[in-house]
Structure 1
């Protein structure tokens, strides 16, 4: 067997592992973990909307809420492991992405690589919190600290401004794809009842639009911080959600967005059950 044949067989074997039951299980646990976080953030945001703003409505607040439950430490480690699984699944997509032409495949791999890095960071923050470190502090402080460091770089205002604009575009992309039900092509619809499909559409559209709106709003605040050269104007999830209550719509806009995040949590659970991996 020559070297080329061995390489081909090696790649085929690696792809088989990537598409196997271990990676599939990791992906499904990852969706469950993502769902738990968004569900808790949405519930905390609802508390803020109705006058109870004692806990921050972001990942840190959600983890603090979990840590106070019976077997809280075990729940946190399980959540972190699920997010590691999500990152590994996205990594397998990056390495073995199937698709049409080379350009199409390259674009999907780059998108999967970005998602892999994102979930790896989230997993790290959750595991750091579980181990007693400060890896998942306030999202508002994290956003302001990152913005302040970036503004100190050469052309820092442009870097922060372009980065914020990118988050706005990403948020709009998430919302539009949800509204157009782009998630449907990934579902095992043959295994779903009519009621299940309806539930997925309600949670997928409502949850995806709310999630996209939240990301877009975070990006807007980053752009404003760049223009004013004031890092304190950047906001994380918590301050951004609270800002919705300060609009002319009052707390009801926050209620709608918070309810949407709860829906996205349930949508993630549906993806864990019916998504093709």
Structure 2
């Protein structure tokens, strides 16, 4: 277990990471709401959100700040995975969560580098990464494992939302009960929204692994587009987008009021 001093560093990393993550998810959610409203704006994922931020005044400065925050989040999740800084344990469930943290660390490291280099990524980044994995020895099985991990991560979002276990990460004693209730409801809605899009992403990635076809892979942006193309798609997309904005609020509240030193 990390020492008290290292726990303090973990807290700083987590706060910076959740702040940056909240900005990215908030941008994704706002763009998805505009897409659902038929404004001509396209729903997009994390890389598209970075490109949108870069296009605004002082966008380059914002990308540097966000990139540093995302790299901080990556290190935080790496610590959670390798050193079990959140005390998940070594049983099956604990190891599964820690494996998910490692995947998260890798993803946000790549996203952070994209932000710092001002690239934001292309719309086909998911397919390029999938193709790269498939070209590796045993890549088909590695990709399938990753796909299942993403689906499980989505299921965990629902479990966290329904069980209310996310509440233990907050330190909200100073809030009035009404305001605390609103924050917790926003967090629950946000986790449910992630629980919708993650299995979509994981499902198409699993198809890509089974068929050895990188073109089947989709990222967050494409998953939102899949929702929009369904019956009542604008409504589905709008509700999911609102949930992603709630998740962004949840991230920002965690950045300020999160309890990371004794999380379980």
TM-score (structure 1 length as normaliser)? 0.81
2:165 to 174, 179, 182: 182
Unaligned runs of 5+ in 2: none
Partner of 2:69: 82
Instruction: Find out whether 1:130 has 2:116 as its counterpart.
Output: yes
Report the CA distance shift for 1:183/1:153 in structure 2 as closer, same or farther (over 3 A): same
- Is the 1:167–1:216 Cα contact (8 Å) retained in structure 2? yes
In the alignment, does 2:7 pair up with 1:26? no
For residue 238 of structure 1, the aligned residue among 221, 227, 231 is: 221
TM norm structure 2: 0.84
Is 1:272 aligned to 2:259, yes or no? no
Corresponding position of 1:61: 48
Contact 1:80–1:124 (8 Å) recurs in 2: no
- For residues 167 and 110 of structure 1, do their structure 2 counterparts lie closer, same or farther at Cα, with a shift above 3 Å needed? closer
Unaligned runs of 5+ in 1: 1-10
The higher-RCO structure (CA 8 Å, 6+ apart) is 2
**Shift, 1:53, TM fit:** 4.5
Who wins on radius of gyration, i.e. which is larger?
1
Structure 2 CA distance for partners of 1:163 and 1:86, relative to 1, 3 Å: closer
Return the alpha-carbon distance in structure 2 between the equivalents of residues 153 and 116 of structure 1. Answer: 20
User: How far apart, CA to CA, are the structure 2 residues paired with 1:151 and 1:85?
Assistant: 29
- For the 8 Å contact 2:84–2:98, the answer to whether it is kept is no
Q: Spell out, residue by residue over 1:104-147, the C-alpha distance to the aligned partner (whole angstroms, 9 max, x if none).
A: 5x965774575255345424433433334x4x313x51222233
2:133 pairs with 150, 161, 165, which one? 150
Root-mean-square deviation (CA, aligned residues, Å) is: 2.8
Cα distance change of structure 1 residues 166 and 110 upon mapping to structure 2, 3 Å threshold? closer
Residue 197 in structure 1 maps to residue 180 in structure 2: yes
The total of aligned residue pairs comes to 259
